[in-house]
Amino acid sequence: MDIRRWALDSDFKVTLTRPRFTDGLLLVLLIAITILSPRLLPVRSEGDTVLVRAGESVFRIPLEENGPHRVTGPLGEAVIMVRDGEAWLENTPCPLKICEAMGPVRRAGDVILCLPNRIYIRVEGREQTDAVSR
Amino acid sequence: MMPRNLSGPLAGRSRISGKTPFLILIVLTVILASGCRRTPEPVRETRFMMGTLVEILVYAQGEDAANAVSRAFSRMAEIEKATSCRIPGNDVESVREGEGALFSGDAARILQTAISAAVASSGSFDPTLGELVDLWGIGTDRPRVPGEVEIRDALGRSGYQKIPESGRFPPGEKLWLDLGGVAKGFAVDEAVKVLKDSGVGAGIVDAGGDLRTFGVKPGSSPWKVGVQDPDQSRELAGILEAGEISIATSGDYQRYFEVEGVRYHHILDPATGRPARSGLKSATVLAPDCALADALATAAFVLGPERGLDLLEKRDGVEGILISEDGIYHTTSGIGTRFPFRKKQP
C-alpha cells in the first residue's frame, strides 16, 4: 500500500516525521504480546466432551449431559457417570477396580483406562501436553 | 490508539505524526496473520493391544495418513503375535513348553535388547520372569501373594544367563520368557518407522505411556510430554520439552492389588521374586529408542534412586527422572539442560 497516496486521497493528513521512542516501545510490546500470547493462555482448559472407547465402539458424551451412560466391554456392563462437568466410572465388572479408584476426570487430556474391560475415556479440549508417559 | 496532535473534528483534516500508521499496519498484519494461521488438527486413533491402549497421533491428512496409521497398527500386532507370552503358537510358547526354538526376526531383536539391558543392569531387568509374573497374577482377575516356596522355586527356574547367545533354545530346556518389558517399546519404534516410511512427517506413537515422538510439530514448537505424577493419577509430575524422543515410565501405580493395606505392584525384583521395594514410586527414562527406554525404566525402578541414576548416567543418550517415595526428583544431568523439564509446582 502506498501510504503517501492514501494520505493524499483521504481526509487525513499524515506528516512523516522521525519515530518517537514511545512508537518503538509500542511496536515491541505488541509484537511481544503477539508472539507470547499462545504461551500466556491457560493451556489446560476444562473439557466439554468425553471421548469413550468401549471395545470396538467409539462415541462422545457431552460433559453437560448429567446422568449415567451405560457401556459394555468384554467383561460386561459398566456405567460412566457424568455430573457437573465431571465423568467417572462406576459399577465396573473388572476385578481390581483400579479404573474406579482413578476418580473423576474433568480437564482436557484427563484419561480413565480400564484395561480388563477395554474401556477408555478421554476428556477432549485444549491440552497441556502432546502425550503423557504414564 | 488515538492519533496524536488531532485538531478539528474527526471528519476534517487530521494530523498523525511519526510513522505510527506504518507501525499500526505492521502490528495489525502480524496479529491477524498469527490469528489466521491454524494449526492442522492431528489425526488420532486408538486400539487396545499389547495389554494396553495404543494411541497413534499424526499430523497428516487424507486417506494416505489413515492407511499409514493402519499399517503401523498392523506392524505392532505382528510384533505382539510373535513375542507375547499370552498368545499361543509363537517361539516364546515353544521355549516355555521345552519344545526348543530358534529366535529370529523381531523376536531375536527384542531378545537381544532384553539381554543387553539385563547385562547392563546386572540382572535388575530380567526377561525370564514369566513364571513369577504368572504366579502373582497382577493385572489379571486372580492376583495373589504366592508362598515363599513357590517364589523360590520359580526364581530357581529363571535367570537371563540361561538364554543362549545364539538365540537357539534346545528342546527339553524350559524357560518362561516375558518379553513384555521390551516388546512394547520395540513395537512403538517399529510403528514410527512404518509411519515415516509412509511419508508421515510428524506424530506420536504411545503404547500405554511408552511413547515416541517424531518429526516437527506444525508451528515448530517442541513436543511437550507429560510425566505422570505417581501419587495423583490426574496430575503431572512435570513436562518435558524435546524434539524427537523415546520415553517410557515404570511405576508402582500402574498395575497392582492390595491385601490388608499392602500394595503389591507389577514390577518384580529378580533378586527377591517380589514387587520391588527400592524407594522409588516411578522411573521415567529417555533413550535413543523406546525398546531400550522401556527396559531401562524397569531396571532403574528396581535399582532405586542412587543405583538407578548411576545406570542411566553411564549410557550414552540416556536420561531419566526417578521419583522416590518421599517425593524427591532424582534426575540425570541432561534433564533440565538437554531436555527442558518444567517440574510441577508444590
- Are A95 and B239 in contact (CB < 8 Å)? no
For B156-208, what is each residue's pLDDT tens digit?
999 999 999 899 999 999 999 999 889 999 999 999 999 999 999 999 999 98
Of B21, B46, B217, the CB nearest to A14: B21
- In this prediction, residue B31 carries a pLDDT of 56
Statement: residue B12 has pLDDT above 60? no
Query: What's the mean pLDDT in A66-83?
Result: 92
Containing H/E element for B338? none
- Are A98 and B256 in contact (CB < 8 Å)? yes
Query: What's the mean pLDDT in B12-23?
Result: 56
For B261-316, what is each residue's pLDDT tens digit?
898 999 999 999 999 999 999 999 999 999 999 999 999 999 999 999 999 999 99
Query: What's the mean pLDDT in B14-29?
Result: 60
Containing H/E element for B35? helix B20-36
Supply the DSSP symbol for B38.
Answer: P
For A15-26, what is each residue's pLDDT tens digit?
566 677 777 888
Residues 118-147 of B with CB under 8 A from A: 139-143
Q: How far apart are alpha carbons B33 and B262 in whole angstroms?
A: 57
Q: Which CATH architecture has domain B43-343?
A: Roll (3.10)
3-state DSSP assignment of residue B24? helix
Q: How far, rounded to the nearest angstrom, does the alpha carbon of residue B296 sit from its chain's CA centroid?
A: 11
Distance from CA of A113 to the nearest CA of B (A): 8
Tell me what ipTM this predicted complex has.
Answer: 0.81
Three cell numbers, residue B50: 499389547
More confident residue, B1 or A89: A89
**Chain A residues with CB inside 8 Å of B23's CB?**
19, 23, 26-27
Nearest CA in chain B to A11: B13
- Are B226 and A31 in contact (CB < 8 Å)? no
Reported as a pLDDT band with limits 50, 70 and 90, residue A71 is very high
Crossing angle of helices B180-197 and B62-83, rounded to 10°: 150
Q: Which residues pair with B256 in a beta bridge?
A: B265
Statement: residue B98 has pLDDT above 60? yes
- In this prediction, residue B68 carries a pLDDT of 95
**Chain A residues with CB inside 8 Å of B211's CB?**
131, 133
% residues pLDDT > 70 (chain B)? 88
More confident residue, B37 or B102: B102
Statement: residue A42 has pLDDT above 50? no
Nearest CA in chain A to B22: A3
Reported as a pLDDT band with limits 50, 70 and 90, residue B152 is very high
Reported as a pLDDT band with limits 50, 70 and 90, residue B28 is low
- In this prediction, residue A44 carries a pLDDT of 45
B61 interface with A at CB cutoff 8 Å: no
Contact A105, A87 (CB under 8 A): yes
Residues 191-250 of B with CB under 8 A from A: 204, 206, 208-211, 213, 217, 223-228, 233-234, 236, 239, 247-249
Contact B40, B218 (CB under 8 A): yes
**Chain A residues with CB inside 8 Å of B13's CB?**
11-13
For B220-260, what is each residue's pLDDT tens digit?
889 999 999 998 877 889 999 999 999 999 998 878 888 88
Q: Find cell 506392524 and name the residue.
A: B75
Reported as a pLDDT band with limits 50, 70 and 90, residue B6 is very low
| Every domain of chain A and the residues it spans | 3-40, 49-124
> Which homologous superfamily is A49-124 in?
N-utilization substance G protein NusG, insert domain (2.60.320.10)
Statement: residue B123 has pLDDT above 90? yes
- In this prediction, residue A40 carries a pLDDT of 47
Q: What is the DSSP string of B276-325?
A: --SSEEEEEEEESSHHHHHHHHHHHHHH-HHHHHHHHHTSTT-EEEEEET
**B interface test, pick of A107, A110, A128, A130 with most B CB neighbours within 10 Å:** A130
